[in-house]
Amino acid sequence: MDTLIQTLARELHVQPQHAQAVAALLDEGNTVPFIARYRKEQHGAMDDQTIRLLADRLAYLRGLEARRQEVLAAIESQGKLTDELSANLSQAQTLAEVEDLYRPYRPKRRTRAGIAREKGLEPLAQLLLAGRDKTGKPLSISPQELCKPYIDLEKGVETAEDALQGAQDIIAEMFSDDAAIRGRLRAQVQRSGSLCSVGAVGEDTVYRLYYDFQEPLKKLQSHRVLAINRGEREGALKVTVQPGSWDAPGLILRETAHPRHPYYSLLQETAQDAWDRLIFPSLEREARASLTDMANEQAIRTFSLNLRPLLMQPPVKNRVTLGFDPAYRTGCKLAVVDGTGKVLETAVIYPTKPHNKIAEGKEVLRRLCARHGVACIAIGNGTASRESEIFVSEFIKEYGGGVSYMVVSEAGASVYSASKLGAEEFPDFDVSLRSAVSIARRLQDPLAELVKIDPKAIGVGQYQHDMPQAQLSQALDGVVEDCVNAVGVDLNTASPSLLRRVAGVSPTVAKNVAAYREEKGRFLTRKELLKVPKLGPKAFEQCAGFLRVPDSENVLDHTAVHPESYKAAEKLLQLCGYSLGDVGALAGLDSRVKELGIDKAAEACGVGVPTLRDICAELQKPGRDPRDQLPPPLLRTDVMDLEDLAPGMELMGTVRNVVDFGAFVDIGVHQDGLVHVSQLTDRFIRHPSEAVAVGDVVNVTVLEVDPGRGRISLTMKKPQAQA
């Protein structure tokens, strides 16, 4: 098995044959959700996240190998490729190592060393560096005497000092281009260096924490790096890397010249010049770039970790919901939608300043709730949300009738409302009414509604606008795809926005599915998908298992059983004494399979054991929604003020965002409270995501309230842990 696969297996702690299988499946054009769900026997039941990690790492290692071959070819074309250099390139584990080895052979712009070489001073540089004559004896003459034969007025070398300076420039560049030297110095900077920032402006700004800041490179947290980078871009900070107190020239000369070298002091001076002028500026750029890459990766990982539970929040199913989009001057927009998300009625009320038409607003709410049987009110958390929440809370107290409310993040709602998709879906609604519909649907089915929005606009990360947008989009799109396919999609009701997130379905095919449905009517079987234009056998293979057809006469079309396994499912039912008519009422299926022996049953059905287990689960609970197993969202009927809070008060809240330094929790006072990472749990954790996830309903205790700054400090530790 080749080295690349062995490397993947070692890094991801998987079996080499499984890594090889995933690589082959990806190369065949299979999607990650399809591989994760329907090819478990081949990859040892890896989850979708591990497969995506393997795919990313595979792409990097292949890129590394391609660059390695390019460098080998470039050096060989110069006639300078040696066995040692070839071996070193073959052993390089990173792109940085490959580029270090290529550095001496890379075409350069005109440098001081290049000019000195043109003047014929390279032999002098070699003599000074070696410190020995052709016979191997140490040189005893002064550097100036050694330089005299190289004085050449025609070449512009007028004095021995000119020759010496040129030779030193050549040696300095040799030091700079030496991969081993750069590797030692890079490692030392990483061990001892610090990132420093000072204020570049006199006035107070949001970056005041970094006006006199210094922290070791190896300890820097990603959110600090991103904050400092942004402050530098905005002109508020000046940022440098300080290498620390250590002997750079000594480290450069460690394996080049012994202190007894006849020209050691001269080489020390040259090494210092190489460090100051050539090496450190380059390593500083590398260090900053490495920190930024690390911070971006961590921020993207955090965003992805937050997005997954947000999308997978349990839906509030089959409840008539009123979407409430708060505003001041233009009025609060209302939209009532039924249990399937269909808009029943819209309205506008003006309970907030400057209008303060509270009584009229309550009357409109009362009429809408009574007419349509509203069970939940979803309030957007934007401008005027606080006043709107108080208004709704007062209305519920007066109205009664079992109505509850929840404040819903409206991040990205305006993006959707003003989008082409929003205009196509509700051509007769203005932008704000579309937002009210979106807010209501976010409570009913977060996944189906949020897929209509660019994941970057959902707002559950940090510094998302500072990150490499292509890399961020790729990661977040992968999360959305995994979530949609984990839940499954109703082929007859899903919007094109939702369909395009199904494995193997392109945006064009999603539109074609919707168009086919509109022209021909509802799909009656999964096989009918093959009649959709541009949806060929490969796309069908990838998507079929994730698309449900509740109207099909074949009950297996209602499940996540893939059509390729229908015969296996029917065989299993036959072996256990059941029929397709029993699907959904098979309480004894597991015990019968156990009696048969799962290995024998799998062999008899012609599938592997992991696939057989999945088939059993689906036959017992066809079309099950994994979100139903999660705690339901926290619905409220009352609201508190910030002034109502006091240290020691115990509350229940919903995690709204998880960042590197903690978690923000909605406790029903409009302003989210912060649970610092140190207050999340008594056990040691490296990142807050190890303790909480977006959407979690948690018990918290108030530590401190700062009304002036609008800050609430919370803890999730047990009271006895505070003693």
Residues 128-164 pLDDT 10s: 999 998 888 888 899 999 999 999 999 999 999 999 9
3-state secondary structure of 590: helix
Q: Does residue 372 sit in the same domain as residue 460?
A: yes
Q: Does residue 460 sit in the same domain as residue 576?
A: no
Within a domain: 194: no
For residue 523, which of 557, 569, 499 has the smallest C-alpha distance? Answer: 557
Within a domain: 295: no
User: Token pair for residue 63?
Assistant: 């890129």
Which residue, of 564, 599, 629, is where some domain finishes? 629
Q: Does residue 584 sit in the same domain as residue 445?
A: no
User: Token pair for residue 231?
Assistant: 């402050």
Q: What is the pLDDT of residue 686?
A: 87
For residue 538, what is the domain's CATH number?
Answer: 1.10.150.310
Which residue, of 629, 660, 694, is where some domain finishes? 629
Within a domain: 225: no
User: Token pair for residue 297?
Assistant: 């990766």
Q: What is the pLDDT of residue 639?
A: 65
Q: Does residue 348 sit in the same domain as residue 472?
A: yes
Sheet containing strand 212-216, strands side by side:
212-216, 194-199, 237-242
User: In this structure, are residues 232 and 210 in contact, taking their beta carbons and an 8 Å threshold?
Assistant: no
For residue 442, what is the domain's CATH number?
Answer: 3.30.420.140
* Alpha carbon distance 462, 299 (integer Å): 7
Q: In a 10 Å sphere around its CB, with 0-12 CB exposed, 13-18 middle and 19+ buried, how is residue 56 labelled?
A: middle
Within a domain: 387: yes
Phi/psi for 703 (5° steps) reads -95, -45
User: In this structure, are residues 198 and 237 in contact, taking their beta carbons and an 8 Å threshold?
Assistant: yes
Strand partners, 711: 706
Q: Does residue 534 sit in the same domain as residue 589?
A: yes
H or E segment to which residue 392 belongs: helix 385-399
User: In this structure, are residues 549 and 491 in contact, taking their beta carbons and an 8 Å threshold?
Assistant: yes
The ranges of the chain with pLDDT < 70 are 1, 459, 637, 639-640, 670, 720-723
Within a domain: 287: no
Long-range contacts of 701-708 (CB under 8 A, 24+ apart): 701/648, 701/649, 701/650, 701/651, 702/645, 702/646, 702/647, 702/648, 702/649, 702/650, 702/651, 702/673, 703/647, 703/679, 704/647, 705/642, 705/645, 705/646, 705/647, 707/642, 707/643
Within a domain: 259: no
For residue 405, which of 394, 419, 413 has the smallest C-alpha distance? Answer: 394
Q: Does residue 362 sit in the same domain as residue 470?
A: yes
Q: Does residue 659 sit in the same domain as residue 601?
A: no
Residue with structure tokens 């030496």?
178
Tally Cβ neighbours within 10 Å of residue 683. Answer: 7
Percent of the chain with pLDDT over 90: 70
Phi/psi for 684 (5° steps) reads -75, 130
Instruction: Please give the tally of structural domains in the chain.
Output: 4
Q: Does residue 606 sit in the same domain as residue 583?
A: yes
Q: Does residue 325 sit in the same domain as residue 447?
A: yes
Which residue, of 479, 501, 526, is where some domain finishes? 479
Long-range contacts of 181-184 (CB under 8 A, 24+ apart): 181/251, 181/252, 181/256, 181/279, 182/100, 182/103, 182/279, 182/283, 183/97, 183/100, 184/251, 184/254
User: In this structure, are residues 195 and 228 in contact, taking their beta carbons and an 8 Å threshold?
Assistant: yes
* Alpha carbon distance 242, 58 (integer Å): 35
Q: Does residue 327 sit in the same domain as residue 435?
A: yes
For residue 94, what is the domain's CATH number?
Answer: 1.10.10.650
Q: Does residue 656 sit in the same domain as residue 690?
A: yes
Within a domain: 314: no
Segment 473-494, tens digit of pLDDT: 898 899 999 999 999 999 999 9
Q: Does residue 534 sit in the same domain as residue 677?
A: no
User: In this structure, are residues 715 and 701 in contact, taking their beta carbons and an 8 Å threshold?
Assistant: yes
Within a domain: 136: no
Q: What is the pLDDT of residue 629?
A: 74
Q: How many residues does the chain have?
A: 723
Structural domain boundaries, residue 27: 3-105
